Copies of this chain bind each other. A is one copy, B any other.
């Protein structure tokens, strides 16, 4: 049999999806599973988006421009200007999700064995895209104790080698919910200039910011126009994960021209999804306000609930809809499986995403999980209660197992 490549062997399984088969199995057996593991919002997309697709008048389903509908790019530019990000449609290239935006970006700016510095815990698929691109992630660990704030610039400088091509952040962060401050963005910008690096910011959660804080985009830093690359998507903003529309935004013309070659090779982004995305941009202000209010209320319920469970630690997330939670356990992977297979409260259980998959070194974050607060408040309360009861029982069983192990050893 011909062989699988080394890069493919190194490709990670998704820590969010790898337990899906087990989850499907227990659901078939009659359990209800509250999904705290995946950032799949339950919120409806703007009705404008769904209707636009219903009313489509296409007779021929042609390729679109490789860089996306011009009308969509123009509307996106207007959207950014509203966010105080001054770009024109020429600075925008439409992609098949932020996933493709990041793959194109890595293709444009790195060669095999190059390095990018990423604050960890990071969005697990960054590891997949880097492996696919045959480059190395150099992780800089942030900790729960200071809410996953940016590492010091000195620590960043220690990571820089002649192979370093970029710094990649997610702002607000998936999985930590941390919102980078304007000051932190300015520090990173200075660093990018000093070492002539690209600064890539994944800003797909831009709107989801709480506690009267403001999102500050790297594109608002004029000094780094040639360095700044924003990766974006409609998946979370409009709860349109299934559309698969994202974009790359950069004032660096040579970068956008280069990315266009990658876009041409795969022909075009999906047409129906572009129609939906263009219409979504017509959503009234109230859509954003209501959505953010919903997430904020959920966050408050979640964090308050979690903090009442003995031994659980959580940093208040200021943005996005995730948080990293430290649990009084040794192995979140085992705990997650146990929750699905063994535990239930009236045939209900929860599914978590073990956090180790969000660290470069999978031996980190073993006692942490990522929780996505994408359930309505009543379900969220039930899920927290299940988690509380589960931790009680698990810690008893765990110490018992340990005891047995010691006897048998």
Instruction: Note all chain B residues with C-beta closer than 8 A to A166.
Output: 2
> Helix, strand, loop or mixed for chain A's interface?
loop
**Which of B9, B111, B258, B265 lies in contact with A128, CB distance below 8 A?**
B265
Task: Determine if A220 is an interface residue (Cβ-Cβ < 8 Å).
Answer: no
User: Which residue of chain B has its CB nearest to the CB of A226?
Assistant: B1
Residue of B nearest to A24 (CB): B65
Assembled-state Cα–Cα distance A58/B240 (Å): 11
Asked whether A264 and B99 contact (CB < 8 A) given A8-B108, A272-B53, the answer is no
Given contacts A40-B62, A60-B42, A227-B2, A8 and B243 within 8 Å (CB-CB): no
When A17-B264, A60-B45, A134-B134 are in contact, do A5 and B111 touch as well, CB less than 8 Å?
Answer: yes
Contacts of A268 in B (CB 8 A): 241-242, 244
User: In the complex this chain forms, how many copies of it are found?
Assistant: 2
Contact indicator B267/A128 (Cβ below 8 Å): no
On chain A, the number of residues with a Cβ less than 8 Å from chain B's Cβ atoms is 83
A392 is an interface residue with CB less than 8 A from chain B: no
Contacts of A62 in B (CB 8 A): 40, 241-242
State whether the Cβ of A310 lies closer than 8 Å to any Cβ in chain B: no
A107:B58 contact, CB within 8 angstroms: no
Q: Which residues of chain B have C-beta atoms less than 8 A from A132's C-beta?
A: 107, 262, 265
Asked if A239 is at the interface (CB within 8 A of a chain B CB), the reply is yes
Return the contact of A63 from the options B3, B61, B196, B242 (Cβ within 8 A). B242
Q: What's the least CB distance linking A36 to chain B, in Å?
A: 16
Q: Does A198 reach chain B (CB closer than 8 Å)?
A: yes
Best-surrounded residue of A6, A61, A132, A258 (most CB of chain B within 10 A): A61
Task: Judge whether B276 and A272 touch: CB under 8 Å.
Answer: yes
Q: How far is the CB of A102 from the nearest CB of chain B, in Å?
A: 9
Contact residues in B for A14 (Cβ distance below 8 Å): 66, 261, 264-265
Q: State which of B42, B99, B129, B165 has its C-beta within 8 Å of the C-beta of A2.
A: B165
**1/0 contact string of A185-222 vs chain B (CB within 8 Å):** 00000001000111000000000000000000000000
A297 CB within 8 Å of chain B? no
A112 — nearest CB in chain B belongs to which residue? Answer: B112
A1-24 CB contacts (< 8 Å) to partner B: 1-9, 11-14, 17
30 inter-chain pairs at a CB distance below 8 angstroms, sorted by A residue, are: A2-B198, A4-B108, A4-B109, A4-B254, A4-B258, A8-B108, A13-B261, A14-B66, A14-B265, A38-B63, A40-B63, A49-B61, A50-B56, A61-B239, A61-B240, A62-B241, A63-B242, A103-B266, A107-B132, A111-B134, A125-B264, A128-B265, A132-B262, A132-B265, A242-B268, A242-B270, A242-B271, A244-B270, A270-B270, A272-B273
| Extra contacts besides A5-B110, A61-B239, A244-B267 (4): CB < 8 Å | A5-B107, A41-B60, A125-B264, A125-B265
Report, nearest first, the 5 A-B pairs whose CB atoms are least far apart.
A242-B271, A128-B265, A272-B272, A99-B266, A14-B264
